[in-house]
Amino acid sequence: MTLWDMIEPRLKRRKPRQNATPPRPARPVSVAPTMRQSPMRARYEEVTRRMLRVHGVRVRKWRTSMSGVAWQVTYVDGTVSRLIEAPRPRGPMSAAVFLHEIGHHAIGLGVFKPRCLEEYHAWRFSLETMEREGLNVTDAVRARMRESMDYAVYKARRRGLKRIPGELEAYLASTPPSRLAG
């Protein structure tokens, strides 16, 4: 006699719960629900799909925060997977962060040295793409780029970078960025 022989009769005796709620039907898998959409939401989805396809990027995870990361994995057979984690574009800020992460792959990971210069070019890609696609580049998006670049240059200098590239001179803050001060 096995353990399963002893357990099986008990499983057959179980009675269904009386007040159990029926399971919800699964939501269709897509970029967004199939409900009626606003024109801007449809526009964000269109841009999202196109950017992922054109640059050969796959989203590993849609983040709920306004942060992101881009990386690539090179397999033994030589194939490369380009991956990002970013917020799903639903407004100007989330679109900017998403396109910034796409920008890392579009310009090439590790092509620009130092790292703060790569951040600058990824942000430029993001804002230029938003303007070209007719997406709203708000003052908050520009402020986010500014804060991000101030921090990137500050961090590079703190880690010993002596010569700042010309494109980044505008981001030489005499004091650390506000989110680091305290």
Q: Does pTM top 0.85 for this prediction? A: no
Distance CA 90, CA 68 (A): 15
Distance CA 134, CA 148 (A): 23
Residue 28 clears pLDDT 60, i.e. is over it = no
Over residues 44-62, the mean pLDDT reads: 97
- The residue among 57 and 40 whose pLDDT is bigger is 57
Residue among 151, 56, 147, 58 at smallest CA distance from 108: 56
CA distances (Å), origin 142, targets 97, 149, 175:
11, 11, 20
Confidence of residue 181 (pLDDT cuts 50, 70, 90): very low
pLDDT at 2: 76
Confidence of residue 114 (pLDDT cuts 50, 70, 90): very high
pLDDT at 22: 64
Domain boundaries, the chain: 38-171
pLDDT at 157: 93
pLDDT at 94: 97
Residue 95 clears pLDDT 50, i.e. is over it = yes
Distance CA 28, CA 179 (A): 40
Any residues with CB less than 8 A from the CB of 165 and at least 6 apart, and which?
114, 117
Sheet strands side by side (includes 69-74) = 57-63, 80-87, 69-74
Any residues with CB less than 8 A from the CB of 83 and at least 6 apart, and which?
57, 58, 59, 60, 70, 71, 72, 73
> Mean of the per-residue pLDDT values for the chain?
87
Distance CA 180, CA 178 (A): 5
Over residues 12-32, the mean pLDDT reads: 59
Residue 32 clears pLDDT 60, i.e. is over it = no
pLDDT at 178: 65
